[in-house]
Structures are given as structure tokens and as C-alpha cells.
Amino acid sequence: MSAKSPLRAAMRVVACALALGLAAERPAGAEEASPGSPSDDDLRIYAVHVNRTPPQSWPGYGMYLGNGLVITAYHVPGRFAETRPRVVIGGLNRPTSLVKEGSFDGVDLTLLSVDASTLPVRMRMRRLPLCDKGPFPGEGVVVVTPESSVRSRVLPPSAIPRELQDRFDTLIGDVATTGNSGSGVLDARKSCLLGVISRKITVGGVAGRPGAPVRAKDIAKYFVPLKDIRSFIPAGVVF
């Protein structure tokens, strides 16, 4: 296809913090929780708001791991020294300390800490474990924010353009309804953390006639996977 053709498709990878999508509806065909397991909404207790100073115009999210530790996408707080992020956890707006900072083009993660002794007892006792195994295509997951818990499924890398597959190989669908950057992707059966939402994958549509604008379409969300989270958390950090 000619590079000058008006039908040429365009691709974009967009930080999810810049797009909203908080509707809490459950996609058709999503699996139900197993008997005795926590409900999806119970998992929202681990989801927190991460706000820059002064607060950004879009909602930033993170996940409370336990022992005062919060993990989020790096680009949600940005550079810690410049944004001095705070976390809204257990109804309290708490200052944070930096444990480890990644980068948007590298590992899109930041690990923050709050003084656990200042949290409500119900939060001090909470622990969100990392899953034992990484995600697989077709696996049912729950994406949680403080406002919503939404079912989705892991997509195969083939769901996005080939040139993006090596870098963005852990994906979910349901782009419009699931939480954005920093949201937790949890195993729907075991209530453990599989990943952290990082960005959405957008492709250009086909113009209807020469000169017509190309309409973008969101096709997936990429999440930082379990293996990267395990490697990112410093040795000796306990939660």
C-alpha cells in the first residue's frame, strides 16, 4: 500500500491515564466468581487513587500491596521528585515515599510507600499477593479501580499489529469499560495480582473516501505483566 494512500492505517500506543473508561458493566460471557471467593467489588479495597501535587486533571490509579506499599504505572505520578505524589487509601489522603521508579519507555512501574501505621486497621491487615503464574490468552481477569470492578479476558498478542507484539504482549480487551493507567489486573479466580494497566493500543480506521479523516479505534489495553512486576520489586521488600 502506498505511503501516500489516504487509506493508510495509523497506529498509536496511548498512555491510559489520558482516557476515561470507568463504566462498571460486566462484559457478556464473563465467568462468575467461584463459590466462596470474594466478589469482584470486594477487590476494590486494594485499589487507590494516585495524585500528583497539584492534582492532575485525569484520575490516576494504583494498587495497595500491603505493608504500606503501592504499585502504579510510572507515568501516573511521573517523576517523583517533581510531582510529590499522594495516595488516597482507606479514605485518607497520604503523602508517599519513593521505593523505586521505572520509566515510561522502560518498565512502566513505580513503587511508592505510605506510613502503614497511619492507615485504618482494615487496611493495615490487607495483603494483595502476586499470582504464582503469569496470564495466558483467554484467561478471565478483573480490572479494579476504587470506583469499579470490571471483568475482561486476556488477549493473544496476535490481537494487535505485528510490529507491536514483541513489546506489548500482555493485553486485555474491553477497552472502553476497564480502568486505566495504574489499575490492577487480577486473576478472576484467585484474587491475586497479574499486572498493572499501562496504556491502550489504538489503530487507525480506513477512510471512506480520498481525503476523509482516518478514524482511530481502541483495540486493546497493555498491562505490565507479573514477571516484570516481580523483577521490579527490590529484593527484601516485604508486603
pLDDT score for 221: 97
| Grid cell of 116 as nine digits | 502503614
* Burial of 71: CB neighbours in 10 Å, binned 0-12, 13-18, 19+: buried
- Mean pLDDT (whole number) for 161-166: 93
Give pTM, 2 decimals. Answer: 0.83
Q: How far apart are CA 34 and CA 39, in angstroms?
A: 9
pLDDT in tens, 125-146: 899 999 999 999 999 999 999 9
Write the CB contacts of 216 (distance below 8 Å, at least 6 apart in sequence).
Answer: 10, 12, 202, 203, 204, 205
Residue 165 identity: Q
User: Which domains are seen in the chain, by residue range?
Assistant: 11-40+128-227 (2.40.10), 46-127 (2.40.10.10)
> Once rounded to an integer, what is the mean pLDDT over residues 21-31?
36
219 has a pLDDT exceeding 80? yes
- The C-alpha cell of 84 is what? 510529590
Mean of the per-residue pLDDT values of the chain: 85
Whether 194 has a pLDDT exceeding 70, the answer reads: yes
pLDDT 10s digits, 93-128: 999 999 999 999 999 999 999 999 999 998 988 999
